[in-house]
Structure 1
């Protein structure tokens, strides 16, 4: 029976000394089974998602578009941030698998170490494209596929983490374990977002009998070209929506009429009214207790969201400044520890630096 199992997985998990070192062939085959299940799940999602998008784009008759601007769904920015985190984790898993494969010193490749990570990377990118198109087409019904995909990813990661801990395949300080834990957290958050959107879409569809715009942003001005509020998160953080300004400014000097009108929430008058209302409440409260109003408190209350996220972005930037020195330290430590014992140490160090 053991020989039949080994032959069955020979193309994905070649014979190795890992199981013999661990003294548990069953644990090794279980690890191979989990990795193959993950590989198969990502592959099926890529195929099905591509087929659904092709069908929706070319053969589906009903494709309602009620606004020239993107109508963002709840959790739009959070979803994109989690997707970018998954891309980073996929790269980290791929790098960890390649290093594990190169450290084995065996001629037969172990596809289970890096092939599931490759498919995970592709599937995550496809999921980002899938969500972007579903949002553009205002088709929340397409989210059912993402809901199923995140659920099965969650199940497989729970099984993987349980296997890593119970079979002593990886210790608490192993990179593969922490990558799996971070992926599990990301899948849970994405699953919550999908459940919320699907439940909301079902509720409104039951009332109105058709799909709807979860969030409405209307613009009646023909010169409303400042579309930051109505573009996706990647377009917003890269200022891609301002390409028309850059191209026009490259051709000739810009004039004030070229910029068009601003949305209400970006106008100084709108911000002043919000600040004025909160300051009036602060003034009345402080006067009633015989104290002077605090402008700083009003400022923090009115712009607490912007200040918080600006601080988070600044903290992330400061932390990323430590990546270079720490990565270089890891490369040097890796080369010193293994030296001539590993194959192609320079390539190993380079992969470590990249991932």
Structure 2
């Protein structure tokens, strides 16, 4: 690698600039190596980001994506950025021509190919950036806007690292012209970077997509769009877009109207619209998979969060490594000063990158989990409205699936698993790397400490298990107490009448004491768990250091502090990994239940014809309807009682007929035996008519309504509906008042 780099930099003065200061590590200190291996690839990455932004602007997939046209101050800022980018490209071209001229002049020191290639790449990069921004002036597609901004920010960061090398190179030389050109270039690049960091287009005209903007004075904060949508890159990384809300919360308790409205991509209605076509496509397949459908929508964003988790995990090991290097540097009196600054600077930068990566990781996976939960809850709710009687009976889990449990427990289990899934692969990786680095520090005694840490895990697991059991028992006692108090309040008149107050108070007090007993046990175990969490690293490190010293080794400060930091990194995955495995196991069962429910049979939507003069709004001709087949009914009866089944009356058995279809109607005949619910039904309801269906209890009045709605399978005949349809059931209900007040229901009585 070094031979290639130096041959690529032949005759360049840059490769000598740091050679006297970085004697211990020439490749790291050599500016030529830095240009070839770091700066040049970074500029190529920026070019790729600009090309990606151009693809967002012109790809067919984004021709209908939301887009705006910049106006006002946003257009002025865009013009400034274009001018700055063109200026940077022009200065780079002047530098390029100057370098080429110096290379061809007799008596001048030659330059290496890297300088010519690098400067040409920089000029092309800024020229491409200006061209992309000019394309944005015509149509600013909101999707992918961050790619161009990331490119200019990365270019500005590169110049910060490059600036020191330039200053060092010109010290003691007479190359003032090149230095002035570079200062102009760097100032232009940094000005462009600052504009990209802190300014986002806020004045525009909507070209495509909905326009939610209103006058700020006419909108409540809860009706405003989330500021996250218009936040700049720096604000997104640091979450500064939340500062106004946090300041508001510091001044007074937040109310609902103080919180910004949800972004459109977080609203459950939009998430459901996104989910429906994907799940319908999977239902047409031979083996519909809920996991694949979820991955198809949120998989990319989910694994972006995983990559940030990987960055955070890498940053966890940077701290212990550079901590050991800094301690070694302090103990070495002959070490050059730049090493200390270099190690400290890298430690700071890597720690900041790790912290930012962790924050973005949690934000992404929690948002994905929330979106998955909202979409699944909406899908389950819709399914409960459309599921057929056959769908209720059939399925892998039978009739035991309660919609409330699916919406509350199972969807929540999937959400929690989505949040914590990356710990499943991250924990083994962190454990392996930690043990590898610990073995390098302490050799085999590190394995003793790790074994002690593993042995402490069952104790901590037992404590957490008991803590959970006591907490759940306390919640059950609290539910019983609240139920008892609710009964007393609802029947207060009877309680007062028979003087049962003391009896109810004693029962509630006893339940409260039992509840407090479990809460006290939970508090004690919680304190013990916290004690274990903070004491285990100390005990583990003490055991490792004791074995290390007894083995005849010298324990230095560098090894001690580095090992302590690594044990601290090792502790968390060992604690959370078993919990996440158990959590994912529960989530897999929840996914199976949700998949089974969402795959069940639905009531088929009938084509609704428009209302036409002279034609009835609802009509049934020779309708035969049945809730179920004979086999299923007989099976139900056989499963109950003594195993004997009762055969239905033969007269209630309709003979099979040929299935037919007609536009706007349902006409079909059965293909197998069934129990008839309604037989030979003929009904006509004209437009605007008030029709009443009367009959004794159990005669099928409600069943006719369900047949019109299509909820009872049509075995024969034809059902036709025209126009819109609404089912408005009523339920008998009175409030505690006189008959007259119940009839008037708050209205004034008019005796006339």
TM-score range, shorter chain: 0.3 to 0.5
TM-score (norm 2): 0.24
Larger radius of gyration between Structure 1 and Structure 2: 2
TM-score, normalisation: structure 1: 0.47
- As a proportion of its length, which structure holds more strand? 2
